[in-house]
Amino acid sequence: MSRFTLWSGLMVLFLSGALTGVVATSLYYQYEEEHRWDKGPSGRQERIMKRLVQELSLGASQVAEIEPIVKRAHLEVVEVRVRHQPDIDRIFGQGMEELKTKLSPEQQTKLDGLYAQLQRRWQLNRDYLRQAQDTIGRKD
């Protein structure tokens, strides 16, 4: 076997491995992005904790101390979002109506679908807050 054949084979093997890695990573991130909201706000809290654990190399005792703080802060942020939701709904509704005047009927239908997805996520926030408040015995 010549050196050229050996090096060519190794190069093909390396490039195919690199290409497989790129494709697999791309598919993973695409899947992650599409299913990011499946768990709603509680999934967001889980992602925050996971990232903190990874980025800060937290130990088990640190996780136990930090997790209640993250839960409380996350719940407070959701409370603020829900409290200001009527204003946000008004602003978005007005913006949607203005946008529609610039779009074709097909684009308007797609925009309505995107807005409906956003409203479902907001509803998940409200449901999550209500459930969390019931769990800890708080009603605001």
Report the pLDDT averaged over residues 63-91.
Answer: 88
Per-residue tokens: 62: 């640190």
Same domain, 67 and 132: yes
Whether residue 55 sits in one domain with residue 11: no
Both tokens of 49, joined, read 């904790």
The pLDDT assigned to 41 comes to 67
Same domain, 100 and 57: yes
Whether 84 and 102 map to the same domain: the answer is yes
Q: 77 and 8, same structural domain?
A: no
Computed on alpha carbons and rounded to an integer, the radius of gyration of the chain in Å comes to 23
Pick from 34-38, 66-70, 100-104: least confident? 34-38
Task: Write down the residue that tokens 């996780």 correspond to.
Answer: 63
Question: Average pLDDT, stretch 5-32?
Answer: 85
Whether the pLDDT of residue 42 is over 80: the answer is no
Question: Of the ranges 5-9, 61-65, 118-122, which is most confident?
Answer: 61-65
In the block, residue with structure tokens 């930090």 = 66
23 alpha carbon, distance to own chain's centre: 21
Q: Residue with structure tokens 């990874």?
A: 54
Q: Are residues 44 and 109 both part of a single domain? A: yes
More confident residue, 126 or 69: 69
Counting residues of the chain whose pLDDT is more than 90, the rounded percentage is 24
Number of domains in the chain: 2
Q: What residues make up the domain containing 40? A: 36-136
